[in-house]
Amino acid sequence: MNEKFEKFKQWLTLNYSDGLLDLNPPATNEEIEELKNALGVDLPDDFISVLKIHNGQKGDLAWLFDSQEFLSTKRIIEEFNTWKNLLEGELQGKISTPDDGVKSDWWNVNWIPFTSDGCGDHYCIDLSPTASGTKGQIITLWYELGEREIVAQSFSSWFDEYIEQLYSGDLVYSKEYNSIVHKDELE
């Protein structure tokens, strides 16, 4: 993952150099343990290795992942707890319309958010798929919409595709949106 993240940082250097300033230092072993304990799960190695490169972003500048903040261990715990409280309250019993391989829960405690748009929408690591899914697959989670889509089979493959989209020009930095966005959003 070091090589992949270096490629991401090279793109930032060329296209949005201020984005580098918003990356946090690496997560410490203590922060990783605190995250695992708070979530009650073991996270995939590829995701942990990225946190050990940069523990998310500070959130002071543009969002770095497809119009979403790259969450730090602290922010993952915050978002997880927000969803957990919603699940015990207003979302209790509510179901979604998921892709095959994803449970029909509105949210599941084994869906770990690693990005956030600040309005309840996330990319999540799904650690509890159905029998036809893949543990560690990346899914979408929308607060107001019921769709739950599988977007990648692992964090590593999601990150690979993200980097490909940056280098192909499908994703661009937008000063107007103060985010990295799909180029189609600018038309």
Written as one string, the DSSP assignment of 35-76 is: HHHHHTSPPPHHHHHHHTT---B-SSS-B-BTTBEE--HHHH
Tell me whether residue 142 is in a domain.
yes
Question: Residue 187: pLDDT above 80?
Answer: no
Which backbone phi and psi does 143 adopt, to 5 degrees? -60, -45
Q: 29-39 vs 73-88: helix axis angle to the nearest 10?
A: 10
Read off the pLDDT of residues 13-65 as tens digits, 9 standing for 90 and up.
999 999 999 999 999 999 999 999 999 999 999 999 999 999 999 988 888 99
In a domain, 186, yes or no: no
Domain range for 166 is 2-181
The total of structural domains in the chain comes to 1
**Does some domain include residue 21?**
yes
Query: Is there a domain that residue 145 lies in?
Result: yes
Asked if the structure places residue 60 within a domain, the reply is yes
Q: Please give the backbone phi and psi of residue 124, each rounded to the nearest 5 degrees, phi first.
A: -130, 150
pLDDT of residue 88: 86
Question: Can you read off the two tokens belonging to residue 76?
Answer: 């993952």
**Do the beta carbons of residue 19 and residue 65 sit within 8 Å?**
no
In a domain, 119, yes or no: yes
- CATH number at 52 reads 3.40.1580.10
Residue 187 lies in a domain: no
